[in-house]
Structure 1
Amino acid sequence: MELILSSITTACVNLLVFSFIPFLWWFFRHRKEISFFKWLGFIRPHLKSKWWTLLLFAVVYYFFYTFDFTQWISPETMEYLENSGSVSVNAFAGIGAAAILPAFIENFIGNGVAEEILYRGFFCKRFCNKLGSVKGILLQAVLFGLMHNALYLLAGLQVGLWYHMLMFLFTGMAALLLGWLNEKIFNGSILPGILLHGAGNFINSMLMAFSFM
């Protein structure tokens, strides 16, 4: 129960923090034109590309997601991270089925919904409107990668420059793919990104929970 409450708290805090700037921007500039959720991209997904484009994306994302970038990290760094209380996924390590509900809440709401609101719903769409879709998708991906570097620094994790570079590349590439999925393959809906982002994090949590990692 304590873990569930902790996950609910984390999810709520993330939603508030990641929605704050988008809401203010919408409230002062767009509230008379469009509803907040529609403005962010909470709309029904509609495939605007050829079906094979989505298939190609699925293949690329599968190989990206299953690629083990930790093979490039020293065993000492991995051991340090696996034993750190500052790495949120460690809370689910080895606890099996007890992790399913709290991980679902935290991964789909605290990560999937909250982070997609700010990065793909707000940053990506604003950048795409100003700079064009390709530059906008790239820029939001850079910011998403840098956010993860900043979170590690704020948590005081001593991981070194090499790990920060890998983290930036891995999370930035994920953001690039999610932005491309929403803006170039679908009709600007962020729902596909939310589902893919949440599912990816949830799978990682389950692998930790059932000791497959």
Structure 2
Amino acid sequence: MFLNTILNSIIQIIFFAALPFIWWLLSARKRIPFTQWIGLKPWKDRSTHLGVWIAGISAAFTAVGLALLFAFQGTETAVSVFSGRGIQAVPAVAVYAVLNTSFPEELLFRGFLLKRLQAQFGFVAANITQSLLFGLLHGALFLGTAGVGKTVLLVLFTAAIAWFMGYINEQKADGSILPSWIIHAVSNLVSGLCAAYGVL
């Protein structure tokens, strides 16, 4: 399970980073390093203010994630593979939380899509667009198995969280995607552990 999770993570990262990397090669390679362009950089604010934002949104994202997992009981989810496996699943859960979905999705949605749209249309329109697309992507994965009502809830909740993650990155963290990566990873970690230990 652990090695499979690592392999899946590598494949996801390559897949989700391909378009941003090609775009950077064609448009910005001579001006700025890829890591800076995509937002893989430290933020400047060293006060506790940003930490409070990260902690608050992490708590909200985690609560929403657990509520959705409870609502989707009986439906195959991303953490179903860890169900009931206990401590033997913990290493795989850690890899899943940090590198599988959270990092690739932050690269694509907050690192690439939000920044490119923001350059053309401004932050407000760009953040709404990336959050809606983020929500719709997650909803599309469950439409056939969860029904319309639950899927709409999933889209709305994940879009709202995506909006806040875009906000904290661009308005509080100098365009760094590290805050949203942390938030996303924390939520995935808790969800994965809850599945592994049969809490949900």
> For residues 93-139 of structure 1, what are the alpha-carbon distances to aligned partners after superposition, in whole Å with 9 as ceiling and x for unaligned?
11111111111112211122111000000001111111111221111
| Sequence identity (%) | 28
Structure 2 equivalent of residue 184 of structure 1:
171
Q: 1:88 to 1:55 in 2, by over 3 A?
A: closer
Contact map agreement 2:109 2:130 (CA 8 A) in 1: yes
Structure 2 equivalent of residue 126 of structure 1:
116
Q: Residue type of the partner of 2:174?
A: N
1:65 matched to 2:62? The reply is yes
* Residue aligned with 2:44, SS: coil
Indicate the RMSD between aligned Cα atoms, in angstroms.
2.3
* Residue aligned with 1:33, SS: coil
Contact map agreement 1:54 1:185 (CA 8 A) in 2: no
Structure 2 equivalent of residue 11 of structure 1:
9
Q: In the aligned structure 2, how far is the partner of 1:109 from the partner of 1:72?
A: 24
Q: In the aligned structure 2, how far is the partner of 1:127 from the partner of 1:54?
A: 27
Contact map agreement 2:16 2:104 (CA 8 A) in 1: yes
Q: 1:53 to 1:13 in 2, by over 3 A?
A: closer
After TM superposition, give the deviation of residue 9 of structure 1 in Å. Answer: 1.7
> For residues 16-55 of structure 1, what are the alpha-carbon distances to aligned partners after superposition, in whole Å with 9 as ceiling and x for unaligned?
111011011111111111111110011111229x865763
Q: 1:64 to 1:110 in 2, by over 3 A?
A: closer
Q: Which runs of 5+ in 1 are unaligned?
A: none
Structure 2 equivalent of residue 30 of structure 1:
28
Q: 1:193 to 1:123 in 2, by over 3 A?
A: same
Q: 1:199 to 1:187 in 2, by over 3 A?
A: same
After TM superposition, give the deviation of residue 173 of structure 1 in Å. Answer: 1.2
Structure 2 equivalent of residue 196 of structure 1:
183
Q: Residue type of the partner of 2:52?
A: L
Structure 1 equivalent of residue 74 of structure 2:
80
Structure 2 equivalent of residue 55 of structure 1:
52
1:93 matched to 2:87? The reply is no
2:93 to 85, 99, 103: 103
Q: Residue type of the partner of 2:13?
A: L
TM-score (norm 2): 0.89
Contact map agreement 2:170 2:176 (CA 8 A) in 1: yes
Q: In the aligned structure 2, how far is the partner of 1:151 from the partner of 1:161?
A: 12
Q: Residue type of the partner of 2:5?
A: S
Contact map agreement 2:168 2:180 (CA 8 A) in 1: yes
Name which one, 1 or 2, has greater alpha-carbon Rg: 1
1:158 matched to 2:150? The reply is no
* Residue aligned with 1:158, SS: helix
Q: In the aligned structure 2, how far is the partner of 1:43 from the partner of 1:181?
A: 14
Contact map agreement 1:42 1:189 (CA 8 A) in 2: yes
Contact map agreement 1:61 1:177 (CA 8 A) in 2: no
> For residues 62-93 of structure 1, what are the alpha-carbon distances to aligned partners after superposition, in whole Å with 9 as ceiling and x for unaligned?
345325644994xxxx4431xx3xx2201111
Q: In the aligned structure 2, how far is the partner of 1:188 from the partner of 1:181?
A: 9
TM-score (norm 1): 0.84
Q: In the aligned structure 2, how far is the partner of 1:51 from the partner of 1:23?
A: 33
1:139 matched to 2:137? The reply is no
